[in-house]
């Protein structure tokens, strides 16, 4: 029997890019596809792609994508033969896997026993230690008392890493440099772990000073076969979240690959692993990759975000393999049959602002365009007109490039990023392009600290005003203003009769005067000057130099008379200045209004009215997209107002705390 005969229909218990990815393969194989969605995703791309779609609840994930009962109810109603959990949400939830089995629905993933064995970092480390796989020194036990964990950190030696035992994607992970920082970091890691995974337990381990992150893709079937599909290097990270991944790993030798591959497959066999999984290792980047110098970190019992680079070099469709294994079929190949061709890299394009500490960015995608070309693949779950909400991971797309060599793959990636257009939310597009072109990354050696060490060179710090972008938008705004005047004149002439003295066509026997145009540029007032010459209009910005022959600038129109100027991957929002729309809170000039940097949940307030605070002191914590963001005092002062309420939602720009003198 074929896969479609054994599993004729599939429900995708996920959203966004991965739901689209699974649907594409399922449709190619002939399966009926069933989507579930929250109210926020009612018009999402994956909902449109699926054969059927069912609403399962409000926007918050806990009331929709994390509600196993609702998803199983839809699966039964729709007659789904199997459920693919994607990654995140319920993908590593053993209880959900058990519930699928009890309902007679195939779970496209490993057995619940394997998820339990490997799904929690502390249990996984204990398991592989028994198999003589080296692990990073640390405390992986059950005791969770804060004082006890602080003592373990002292014993291990700083710096240490606190990690949520059920964590992933950098959530619930905190690096701690000194003892006095431990308590706050622990509390934050526990809150993030509870919010993202429903589990606030943590482990503490030694922080490897120059960590290189290499993972092995493993695959097992129900017939006892386990193979690995080469490795991926995921060392380019920020806040413990992967930014660019590649396969194979630079500097990998046949000896090290064999040792890592053996350790990974043995770990998978030890738990009777079935399906796609990833065993993650860490090595000291100062030493290079050595067969006896790598340590087990964790095993992810699911498909990984970065799986396309493995598909690119092996020619395999990992989702198809997952479905094949879930249908009870053998893999159909052995370790000796697996080969790799060329090199592949993947960049994660996010709605976030690198110039503001990579804060998540939300809003409507006024323009979104990706390139096509040899060796380029785009995996996305959104299209122009969609809205990036604060409820889920802010990924816009994965841009994947494959080439004969690493340099060719990176050249193709950089080129593809340069031809990508994102308008609306801020994005890390320019940052990714600079990263793909960075000499230190291309020539190595590099480790997980590479981005932090080169943050300024990569442009992930506040940048000066983009005068060329502002000038392009200013001309557009003035053209609109003139067009509006002509329309008004035409309407007046039609009703009152023509008069040359009231005409608005800008005709003059004398040189046209210099026009002063007050603008609002990314929330700040800027004065532009427009002069008309024989060759056309020219814009100047007092105090700013506009370079000639700049890279092409494109414009995307947003709402409320705003134009988004896109230049070298950066976005500048420009509109006419409206003196009646002044932010009165900001107009006082005291710099004492502390606002929410994005839409989210106010999880903690540390001050009250009348309290004295010092510059840099923690005032509050806002959680957005399952990550915590600390709000600090911009200066010394006295708290004159506390506008936020812990547990309540706050809008981007909403007052949280106000400081007096």
Average pLDDT score over the chain: 90
Q: What's the rounded mean pLDDT across residues 394-409?
A: 98
Q: What's the rounded mean pLDDT across residues 119-133?
A: 75
pLDDT tens-digit readout, 62-80 = 999 999 999 999 999 999 9
Top CATH class, 582-660: mainly beta
Report how far residue 167's alpha carbon sits from residue 118's, in angstroms, rounded to the nearest whole number: 12
Report the catalytic residues: 302
Report how far residue 122's alpha carbon sits from residue 282's, in angstroms, rounded to the nearest whole number: 16
Phi/psi at 561 (nearest 5 deg)? 70, 25
CATH code of 3-108, in short, is: 3.40.50.20
We find that the CATH architecture of domain 467-580 is 2-Layer Sandwich (3.30)
CATH code of 137-206, in short, is: 3.30.1490.20
pLDDT(149) > 60: yes
Report how far residue 529's alpha carbon sits from residue 356's, in angstroms, rounded to the nearest whole number: 29
Residue 202 to residues 142, 192, 193, 278, 624, Cα–Cα distance (Å) = 9, 11, 8, 21, 21
pLDDT tens-digit readout, 221-255 = 999 999 999 999 999 999 888 999 999 999 999 99
| Per-residue pLDDT at 589 | 46
- Taking each helix axis as running N to C, give the angle between helix 406-418 and helix 429-437, from 0 to 180 degrees, rounded to the nearest 10: 150
Residue with the bigger pLDDT between 485 and 514: it is: 514
pLDDT classification of 582: cutoffs 50, 70, 90: low
Residue 81 to residues 50, 105, 171, Cα–Cα distance (Å) = 15, 6, 32
Report how far residue 408's alpha carbon sits from residue 383's, in angstroms, rounded to the nearest whole number: 28
| Per-residue pLDDT at 321 | 98
Residues 6+ apart with CB under 8 A from 160: 138, 153, 175, 176, 182, 204, 205, 206, 207
Report how far residue 236's alpha carbon sits from residue 606's, in angstroms, rounded to the nearest whole number: 34
pLDDT tens-digit readout, 437-453 = 999 999 988 999 999 99
Q: What's the rounded mean pLDDT across residues 143-150?
A: 95
Query: Would you kindly state where each structural domain of the chain is located, as residue ranges?
Result: 3-108, 137-206, 211-453, 467-580, 582-660
We find that the CATH architecture of domain 211-453 is 2-Layer Sandwich (3.30)
Q: What's the rounded mean pLDDT across residues 96-122?
A: 91
pLDDT classification of 592: cutoffs 50, 70, 90: confident
Q: What's the rounded mean pLDDT across residues 574-603?
A: 75
In the sheet where 9-12 sits, what is the strand order? Answer: 52-57, 32-38, 9-12, 82-84, 106-107
pLDDT(549) > 80: no
pLDDT classification of 498: cutoffs 50, 70, 90: low
């Amino acid at each position: 029997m074929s896969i479609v005969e054994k599993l004729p229909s599939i429900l995708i218990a996920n959203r966004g890019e991965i739901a689209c990815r699974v649907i594409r393969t399922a449709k190619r194989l002939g399966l009926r596809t069933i989507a579930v969605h929250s109210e926020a995703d009612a018009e999402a791309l994956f909902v449109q792609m699926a054969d059927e779609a069912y609403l399962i609840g409000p926007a918050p994930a806990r009331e929709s994508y994390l509600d196993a009962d609702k998803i199983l109810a839809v699966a039964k109603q729709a007659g789904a033969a199997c459920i693919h959990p994607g990654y995140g949400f319920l993908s590593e939830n053993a209880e959900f896997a058990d519930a699928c089995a009890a309902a007679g629905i195939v779970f496209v993933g490993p057995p619940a026993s394997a998820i339990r064995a490997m799904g929690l970092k502390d249990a996984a480390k204990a398991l592989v230690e028994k198999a003589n796989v080296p692990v990073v020194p640390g405390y992986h036990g059950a005791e969770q008392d804060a004082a006890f964990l602080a003592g373990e950190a002292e014993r291990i030696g700083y710096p240490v890493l606190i990690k949520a035992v059920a964590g992933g994607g950098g959530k619930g992970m905190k690096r701690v440099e000194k003892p006095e920082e431990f308590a706050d970091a622990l509390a934050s890691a526990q809150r993030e772990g509870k919010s993202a995974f429903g589990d606030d337990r943590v482990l503490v381990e030694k922080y490897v000073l120059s960590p290189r992150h290499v993972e092995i893709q493993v695959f097992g079937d129900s017939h006892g076969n386990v193979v690995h599909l080469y490795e991926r290097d995921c060392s380019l990270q920020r806040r413990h979240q992967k930014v660019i991944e590649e396969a194979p790993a630079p500097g990998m030798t046949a000896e090290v690959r064999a040792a890592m591959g053996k350790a990974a497959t043995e770990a998978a066999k030890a738990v009777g692993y079935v399906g796609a999984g990833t065993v993650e290792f860490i090595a000291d980047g100062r030493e290079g990759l050595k067969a006896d110098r790598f340590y087990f970190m964790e095993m992810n019992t699911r498909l990984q975000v970065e799986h396309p680079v493995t598909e690119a070099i092996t020619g395999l469709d990992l989702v198809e393999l997952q479905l094949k294994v879930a249908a009870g079929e053998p893999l159909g190949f052995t370790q000796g049959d697996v080969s790799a061709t060329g090199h592949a890299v993947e960049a994660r394009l996010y709605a976030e602002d690198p110039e503001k500490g990579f804060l998540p960015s939300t809003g409507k995608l006024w323009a979104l365009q990706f390139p096509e070309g040899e060796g380029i693949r785009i995996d996305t779950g959104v299209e122009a007109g969609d809205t990036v909400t604060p409820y889920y991971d802010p990924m816009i797309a994965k841009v994947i490039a494959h080439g004969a060599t690493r340099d060719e793959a990176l050249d193709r990636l950089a080129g593809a990023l340069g031809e990508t257009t994102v308008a609306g939310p801020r994005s890390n597009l320019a940052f990714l392009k600079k990263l793909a072109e960075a000499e230190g990354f291309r020539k190595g050696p590099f480790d997980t600290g590479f981005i932090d060490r080169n943050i300024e060179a990569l442009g992930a710090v506040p940048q000066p005003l983009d005068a060329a972008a502002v000038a392009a938008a200013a001309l557009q705004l003035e053209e609109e203003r003139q067009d509006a005047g002509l329309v008004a004149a035409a309407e007046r002439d039609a009703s009152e009769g023509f008069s040359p003295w009231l005409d608005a066509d800008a005709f003059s026997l004398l040189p046209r005067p210099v026009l002063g145009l007050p603008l609002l540029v990314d929330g700040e007032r800027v004065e532009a000057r427009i002069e008309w010459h024989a060759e056309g209009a020219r814009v100047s910005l007092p105090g700013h130099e506009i370079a000639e022959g700049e890279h092409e600038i494109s414009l995307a129109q947003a709402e409320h008379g705003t134009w988004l100027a896109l230049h070298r991957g950066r976005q500048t929002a420009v509109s006419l200045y409206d003196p009646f729309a002044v932010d009165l809170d900001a107009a006082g000039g005291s710099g004492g209004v502390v606002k929410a940097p994005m839409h989210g949940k106010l999880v903690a307030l540390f001050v009250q009215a009348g309290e004295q605070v010092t510059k840099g002191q923690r005032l509050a914590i806002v959680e957005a997209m399952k990550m915590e963001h600390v709000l600090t005092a911009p200066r010394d002062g006295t708290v004159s107002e506390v506008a936020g309420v812990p547990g309540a939602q706050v809008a981007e720009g909403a007052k949280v705390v106000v400081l007096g003198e």
